[in-house]
Structure 1
Amino acid sequence: MKSYDIIFFDLDDTLFDFRSAQQAAFSKVFEQYKLNDIEQYEKSYRSISKVLWRDLENGLISLSKLGSERFRRLFVEHELELDDVTFNQDYLKFLGEQTHLVQGAEKVIKELSHKRLAAITNGFTDVQISRINKSPLVGRFEHILISEATGFQKPQAGIFDVAFEKMKITNKAKVLMVGDSLTSDMQGGLNYGIDTCWFNPNAVENLSSIKPTYEVNHLEGLLDIVK
C-alpha cells in the first residue's frame, strides 16, 4: 500500500450530505415564498440542477449563471412568476446553514489529522465556507479551494494547480484525491496525475472509462488505504 501525506477531499456527497442539505434549504426557501407542492418542485429542480452542474464541469456555463438559471428554468416549467436571481440568493442563504455530514465523515477527518488535508470543491464560496465553519469540520483543513474563488472547477487542472501552489506540493505520488464524482473528482485527479479514491456509497457500477485507483463504499474504508 502506498503512503499518502496529503489528502484532497471533495465536500458535497463526500463529507457533507448534500441531498439532505438541499432538501432542507429548498423547503425553507419555498416556505418563505409561501409556495406549496414542494415535492413536485424539488423533483423538477433536481433534474434541472443535474444538467446544469454537468454543463459547468464541461465549461458550458459559468457558476454565477448556473445559480439563477436553475430557478429560471424551474419557474418557467411550473409557470411561477418569481425573480430567479433573488430566489437563488435566498436559497443559498439557507443552504449555507446546513451542516449535515455523511456517516463517518467526522471520524475519518479526525483520524487523519496527522495528514495534510485540503478541501477541493465546486460551488459557491460563501455557502461552502459557512457550512464548514458551522460544522465539526471547522479548522480541519490546511486549505479550502472553492471553484468560485479560484476561477476553476473540477475536473479542470487549474483548481489543482492552485492547491499545489498554495500547499507547496512537489511530489504528486504523495497526494490522494477523494470524492464521489467520477466525472469531476476522479477525472480531475486522474488528468492531473494523482491517485484517486472513489467514494461510492450506493455501490453503483462504474460503466465509464474512468478508472479510480481505489474505491470505497464507506468513508471509514479510506483509513485502510492511507493509514
Structure 2
Amino acid sequence: MTYTHLLFDADDTLFDYPKAESSALLGTLEYEGLPGTVEVMEAYQSINQQLWREFEQGTITLASLRTERFARLFTQLGLKTRSEVELISEYYLDRLGEGHELIDGAYEICSSLMEAGYRLSIITNGIKKVQTSRIAKSALNGMFEQIIVSEDTGYQKPHPGIFDYAFNKLGITDKSRVMIIGDSLTSDMQGGISYGIATCWFNPQGKPNTLGLQPTYEIRSLAEIKALVASGRKLFM
C-alpha cells in the first residue's frame, strides 16, 4: 500500500521534548528563586507524565493540567513561591514555546517526504500556543499542511474525535492512504489502530511493547520512513 497522508506526532517523534521541558523548567524555577535540583526536575517530570496520562484518559482537563502539575510539585516538595501558580504556569508555557530542538533526522525526512509529494501534517496532544510556537520557530516551519492540536479539537489522542477532526480538515476519505507516525503506544499507536489507519511506531531505543498492541510498522530511525511509505514493507515486525 502506498500512503499519501502522513500524520506525525510532535513531541519525541519530531521534536526533542525533554530538552525543551528541561530548559523551560529550569528557567521557571530560576525566575521564582527556586532550586533547579535533580530532585525537583525528576519530581516535576513524574507528576507531569502522570497528569498527561490522566488527560489521555479524560479524567482531567487541559486547563487543570496546566496549573495542577505545579501545584502538586510545590506541595510535594514543600516549596514556597513568590508568584501565584497560574502566573508560574504561564511563564513556563512561554518558555516551553521557545524549545524547538529537533530529533535527529527530523528535518531531513520531512523535507524529503514533502519534496516527494507526500502530504504531511502534525497531530499532537498539547497546548496550542506552545505547539504552534515551537513548530513556527523550527526548521520544519511551513512543511505541514495542517497542525492538529488536541486543545483545538476538544479531544486528545487516542480518542477518535481528534482523528475525525484531522480527516475533516484534510478532506481525507480513504483511510487506507493514511499513516500515523509516533513514539507513544498509548496515544499514537492505540489511536491509529482504533481508528483503522496504518501505524508506525518510532521506537529508537528498542523498548519492549508490553501493551499487546500491533503497530503496522516499527522503526528505529526516522530515515526508515521513506522506504516503508512507498513499499508498505514491514521493517521491524
C-alpha root-mean-square deviation of aligned residues, in Å? Answer: 0.9
AA aligned to 1:96 is G
2:131 corresponds to: 128
1:64 corresponds to: 63
Q: Which whole-Å CA distance do the structure 1 matches of 2:91 and 2:38 have between them?
A: 19
The answer (yes or no) to whether the contact 1:96–1:127 under 8 Å persists in 2 is yes
The size of the alignment, in residue pairs, is: 226
The answer (yes or no) to whether the contact 2:26–2:36 under 8 Å persists in 1 is no
Q: TM-score, normalised by structure 1?
A: 0.97
AA aligned to 2:6 is I
Q: Which whole-Å CA distance do the structure 2 matches of 1:109 and 1:125 have between them?
A: 21
- Name whichever of 2-11 and 216-225 sits farther off: 216-225
Identity, % of aligned pairs?
46
The answer (yes or no) to whether the contact 2:4–2:118 under 8 Å persists in 1 is yes
Q: Which whole-Å CA distance do the structure 1 matches of 2:190 and 2:85 have between them?
A: 32
The answer (yes or no) to whether the contact 1:56–1:62 under 8 Å persists in 2 is yes
**Runs of 4+ in structure 1 displaced over 2 angstroms?**
none
Q: Deviations over 1:61-96 (max 9, x none)?
A: 111111100000000011123322111111000000
Gaps of 5+ in 2: 231-237
AA aligned to 1:165 is N
Gaps of 5+ in 1: none
Q: Which of 119, 122, 141 matches 2:122?
A: 119
Q: Which whole-Å CA distance do the structure 2 matches of 1:202 and 1:69 have between them?
A: 31
Q: Which whole-Å CA distance do the structure 1 matches of 2:36 and 2:28 have between them?
A: 13
Alignment of 1:19-168 (within 5 A): 19-82=18-81, 83-113=84-114, 114-168=117-171
Q: TM-score, normalised by structure 2?
A: 0.93
The answer (yes or no) to whether the contact 2:29–2:36 under 8 Å persists in 1 is no
Residue 98 of structure 1 and its aligned partner are, at CA, apart by: 0.7
AA aligned to 2:47 is I
Q: Deviations over 1:122-155 (max 9, x none)?
A: 0000000000000011111000000111111000
